[in-house]
């Protein structure tokens, strides 16, 4: 029985061992499966006991921290925690321990073996034994270091963007795939009202207009093509009437699948910049003084008019206008008065023209007019007459009426030129011819005028070198006293003999010296030469006589005139009382205040003063009595027809009588007949000058004339 019992017990024990081995094998297999599962997951798995010592982990946990399994096993998790993170990790674990509720998705920063910081996003839950007692913690950690870095960078970028938005006056906006505004942001004071006006609308559904070719349709095509754009100008008018401009830039937005989802962009107000640009553009194409188009814009308009005239077989014309005597007004009354005159003339010219015609200012006193769609030359002539009339009306300047005239040259397309440059050039040539014809008239361009223009150009070119080449000489015309017939004075007259052109009449070259300003330098030479000659005659034994020298209007306003006169008198040794300066009445009356001061300074030197060509200007003897004048010269136009013109006789007689009343020496110019001489003598004219007694002669001939005259008077 005993043996039987033992056999039973042995069989039972063997089965128990077999079951135990099976259980152990099953456990080992389960653990291997568990290990395989842990190693297969990419996230880090860990287990720690209640003290935080690492008791279980997978390879991902080792890789995340950079340690081997042997280095990690048994280590306390606090060894991997930065001091600033330890408190929050402990708090989380403690919360799980006290409540038994797992914690999910919390960040756990740990120190890698290489010293770097790694961030794990994970969970932790409480581990209990079979009796339900807490024995540790387990959890999963996912390495989110790069993601957290990117999220932080994004937050910082958004913060910077927000800061920039707050600092900038620009607008940031977004549109959806149908181009409706979904976001508008700015620190601008009107942000709220603007958002209400724009949100939910497409750009072309707002009050904005767009600049550029194609308008809104071109912009819609651009958006439909999902293309970026830069600095597109949009504008509208505000409620108070002020303009409002913005510059808009944007780029398309695509999602991760490259599907278009809208636009984002910025808008910047550029109203002041735009107004400034328009102002600059206006200044670039308009004259700043008068507001008229300038040369640049006029040239463009003429070219456009020519193209149109060619297309429709029509004519157009250019009128080149130059104000006569403007330089004198500007120099004598000052630049401010000159500017006022130009403004007044500009307004008159605009009123005289049709709306389709254009007047522009080229600079100085030069204007040009474009007549478009003209039918015949008489139409242009009518316009020219209107412009002449507009210029001649007096303009109130510096408390007095100022008179100017105009000279106009006309060139017609296509006969006078087939492009803008040719028309302008030929109109300019015709204008100079109008000046040569006595000013205050208009002239159409012709081949004859061109020839004369080339002649004028040759004259001007040679004039600029005439002084240095010693081509000028002086001739002298005697003045004879009507009472006793003796020579009492002489007038110095400029002559020019050019090797190429031959002798040139003063009537041809003197106006050019005035226009070019050469008269100032040449006038000084005349004054110096005449004074030297007078002194030379006296050294020859001839009696001292008064030397008359003409002063042009340009010389009269030269700021160094008084100093030059004094210097020349001192240099030549000429007695001041033997010098007489002749000035036209227009020069004196035009700026009476300046003339009174200047003539007073000249008179204080002892120099005599004469009014030349009296009767041709706007003055009267009543006006001249206020000036320190010594001599009155009656213009030759009154003397020429004394024998046949009763009006000239009456005027000459009245001038002589009034001159004598003012105790002035009266001299008649241009006396050529004995009948004229007798009339002047009968009416008590003091002196005469003209071909009847002597034409202008060289210095040597005048000395001989003086000697002969002296010998005759002594017999």
Average pLDDT score over the chain = 86
* 250 within 8 A of 228, measured Cβ to Cβ: yes
| pLDDT tens, residue by residue, 465-480 | 999 999 999 999 999 9
Average pLDDT of 585-607? 86
2 or 442: whose pLDDT is higher? Answer: 442
Statement to judge: residues 266 and 183 lie in one domain? yes
663 shares a domain with 610: yes
Q: Does residue 489 sit in the same domain as residue 385? A: no
* Span 260-285, average pLDDT: 84
Q: Mark which of 228, 253, 276 sits at the end of a domain.
A: 276
Contact status, residue 492 vs residue 474, Cβ threshold 8 Å:
yes
Average pLDDT for 450-462: 80
SS (H, E, C) 472-501: EEEEEEEEEECCCCCEEEEEEEEEEEECCC
Mean pLDDT of 283-301: 89
Are residues 690 and 542 part of one domain?
yes
Question: Do residues 566 and 679 share a domain?
Answer: yes
Which of 192-206, 213-227, 283-297 is most confident? 213-227
Give 162's pLDDT tier (boundaries 50, 70, 90): low
How far apart are alpha carbons 159 and 151 in whole angstroms? 12
Cα-Cα-Cα-Cα dihedral sign, residues 383, 385, 388, 392:
negative
Residues 703 and 640 placed together within one structural domain of the fold: yes
- Calculate mean pLDDT across residues 233-241: 88
- pLDDT at position 582 is 95
Q: 126 or 284, which is more confident?
A: 126
Cα 422 to Cα 166, 319, 426, 507: the distances in Å are: 60, 13, 6, 29
pLDDT tens for 48-92 read: 999 989 998 988 889 989 999 888 898 888 888 888 888 888 888
Q: Is residue 441 part of a domain?
A: yes
> What is the per-residue pLDDT for 168?
52
Q: CA–CA separation, 505 vs 489, rounded Å? A: 24
Percent of the chain with pLDDT over 90: 45
Look at residue 271 and tell me if it is in a domain. yes
Residues 680 and 633 sit within 8 Å (Cβ to Cβ):
no
Q: What is the pLDDT of residue 9?
A: 66
Same domain? 521 vs 418: no
**Do residues 137 and 227 make contact, with C-beta atoms less than 8 angstroms apart?**
no
Q: CA–CA separation, 472 vs 536, rounded Å?
A: 19
What's the CATH number where 315 sits? Answer: 3.30.70.270
CATH code (residue 257): 3.30.450.20
Domain with residue 480: its CATH number is: 3.20.20.450
Boundary of a domain, candidates 241, 276, 311: 276
Q: How many angstroms separate the CA atoms of 406 and 348, rounded?
A: 13
When mean pLDDT is compared across 70-79, 149-158, 664-673, the lowest value belongs to 149-158
Average pLDDT over residues 255-280: 86
Query: Greater confidence, 70 or 531?
Result: 531
| 449 neighbors 433 (Cβ within 8 angstroms) | yes
Residue 546 CB partners (closer than 8 Å, separation 6+): 479, 488, 489, 490, 577, 578, 579, 580, 608
The DSSP output letter for 6 is H
Domain of residue 17, residue span: 1-37
Say if 541 falls within a structural domain.
yes
Q: Per-residue pLDDT averaged across 334-355, rounded?
A: 91
State whether residue 370 is helix, strand or coil. Answer: strand
A 10 A CB-CB count for 357 gives 20
pLDDT of residue 31: 67
Task: Enter the tokens of residue 190.
Answer: 């009107």
Q: How many separate domains does the chain show?
A: 4
Of 34-48, 63-77, 566-580, give the lowest mean pLDDT range.
34-48
In whole angstroms, give the CA distance from residue 97 to residue 133. Answer: 11
For 98-110, what is the mean pLDDT? Answer: 88
pLDDT-derived band at 167, boundaries 50, 70, 90: very low
Residue 671 tokens read as 């006396």
Is 564 domain-assigned?
yes
How many angstroms from the chain centroid is the CA of residue 287? 10
* Residue at 195 is within a domain: yes
Q: Within a domain: residue 461? A: no
Both 178 and 232 in one domain: the answer is yes
Split at pLDDT 50, 70, 90, the class of 681 is: very high
Backbone angles phi, psi at 187, to 5 degrees: -85, 5
Q: Is residue 464 part of a domain?
A: no
- Residue 117: inside a domain, yes or no? no
Q: Based on the domain organization, do 335 and 264 belong to the same domain?
A: no
Q: Tell me the C-alpha to C-alpha distance, in Å, between residue 442 and each of 261, 361, 433, 436.
A: 71, 18, 9, 11
The pLDDT value given to residue 667: 94
Residues 475, 435, single domain; the answer is no
Q: Which of 276, 309, 325 is the last residue of a domain?
A: 276
Shared domain for 390 and 244, answered yes or no, is no
Q: Is the pLDDT of residue 423 over 80?
A: yes
> How far apart are alpha carbons 43 and 651 in whole angstroms?
126
Do 202 and 297 fall into the same domain? no
| Rounded mean pLDDT, 297-323 | 92
Residue 618: pLDDT band (50, 70, 90) is very low
pLDDT the model gives residue 4: 59
What's 112-147 look like in SS3? CCCCCEEEEEEEEEEEECCCCCEEEEEEEEEECHHH
Count Cβ atoms within 10 A of the Cβ of residue 133 and give its class: 0-12 exposed, 13-18 middle, 19 or more buried: exposed
């Amino acid at each position: 029985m005993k043996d039987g019992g033992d056999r039973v017990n042995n069989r039972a024990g063997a089965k128990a061992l077999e079951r135990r081995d099976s259980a152990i094998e099953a456990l080992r297999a389960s653990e291997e499966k568990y290990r395989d599962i842990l190693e297969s997951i990419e996230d880090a798995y860990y287990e720690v006991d209640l003290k935080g010592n690492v008791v279980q982990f997978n390879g991902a946990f080792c890789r995340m921290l950079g340690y081997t399994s042997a280095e990690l096993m048994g280590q306390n998790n606090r060894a991997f925690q930065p001091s600033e993170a330890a408190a929050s990790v402990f708090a989380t674990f403690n919360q799980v321990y006290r409540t038994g509720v797992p914690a999910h998705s919390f960040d756990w920063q740990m120190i890698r073996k290489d010293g770097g910081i790694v961030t794990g996003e994970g969970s932790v839950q409480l581990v209990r034994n079979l009796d339900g007692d807490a024995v540790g913690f387990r959890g999963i950690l996912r390495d989110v270091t790069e993601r957290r870095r990117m999220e932080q960078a994004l937050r910082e970028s958004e913060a910077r963007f927000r800061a920039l938005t707050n600092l900038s006056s620009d607008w940031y906006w977004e549109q959806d795939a149908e181009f409706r505004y979904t976001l508008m942001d700015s620190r601008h004071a009107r942000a709220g009202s603007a958002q209400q006006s724009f949100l939910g609308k497409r750009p072309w559904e707002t009050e904005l207009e767009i600049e550029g070719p194609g308008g809104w349709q071109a912009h819609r095509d651009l958006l439909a093509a999902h293309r970026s754009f830069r600095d597109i100008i949009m504008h509208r008018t505000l409620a108070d009437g002020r303009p409002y401009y913005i510059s808009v830039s944007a780029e398309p937005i695509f999602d991760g699948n490259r599907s278009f989802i809208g636009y984002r962009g910025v808008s910047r107000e550029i109203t002041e910049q735009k107004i400034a640009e328009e102002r600059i553009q206006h200044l670039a194409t308009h004259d700043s003084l008068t507001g008229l188009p300038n040369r640049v814009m006029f040239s463009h308009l003429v070219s456009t008019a020519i193209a149109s005239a060619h297309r429709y077989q029509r004519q157009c014309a250019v009128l080149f206008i130059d104000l006569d005597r403007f330089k004198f007004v500007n120099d004598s009354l000052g630049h401010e008065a000159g500017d006022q005159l130009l403004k007044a003339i500009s307004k008159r010219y605009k009123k005289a023209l049709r709306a389709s015609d254009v007047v522009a200012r080229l600079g100085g006193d030069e204007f040009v007019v474009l007549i478009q769609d003209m039918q015949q030359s008489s139409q242009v002539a009518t316009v020219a007459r209107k412009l002449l009339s507009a210029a001649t009306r007096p303009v109130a300047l510096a408390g007095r009426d100022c008179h100017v005239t105009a000279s106009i040259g006309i060139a017609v397309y296509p006969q006078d030129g087939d492009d803008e440059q040719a028309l302008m050039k030929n109109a300019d040539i015709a204008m100079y011819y109008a000046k040569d014809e006595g000013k205050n008239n208009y002239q159409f361009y012709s081949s004859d005028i061109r020839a004369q223009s080339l002649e004028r150009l040759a004259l001007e070119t040679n004039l600029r070198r005439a002084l240095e080449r010693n081509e000028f000489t002086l001739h002298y015309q005697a003045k004879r006293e009507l009472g006793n017939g003796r020579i009492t004075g002489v007038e110095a007259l400029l002559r020019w003999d050019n090797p190429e052109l031959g002798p040139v009449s003063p009537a041809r070259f003197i106006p050019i010296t005035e226009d070019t300003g050469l008269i100032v330098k040449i006038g000084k030479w005349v004054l110096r030469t005449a004074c030297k000659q007078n002194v030379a005659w006296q050294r020859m034994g001839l009696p001292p006589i008064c030397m008359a020298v003409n002063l042009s209007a340009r010389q009269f306003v030269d700021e160094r005139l008084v100093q030059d006169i004094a210097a020349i008198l001192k240099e030549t040794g000429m007695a001041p009382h033997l010098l007489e300066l002749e000035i036209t009445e227009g020069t004196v009356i035009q700026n009476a205040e300046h003339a009174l001061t200047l003539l007073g300074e000249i008179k204080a030197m002892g120099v005599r003063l004469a009014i030349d060509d009296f009767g041709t200007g706007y003055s009267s003897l009543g006006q001249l009595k206020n000036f320190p004048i010594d001599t009155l010269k009656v213009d030759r136009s009154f003397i020429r027809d004394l024998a046949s013109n009763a009006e000239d006789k009456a005027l000459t007689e009245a001038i002589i009588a009034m001159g004598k009343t003012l105790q002035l020496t009266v001299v008649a110019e241009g006396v050529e007949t004995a009948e004229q001489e007798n009339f002047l003598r009968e009416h008590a004219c003091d002196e005469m000058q003209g071909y009847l007694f002597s034409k202008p002669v060289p210095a040597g001939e005048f000395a001989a004339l003086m000697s002969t005259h002296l010998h005759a008077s002594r017999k």
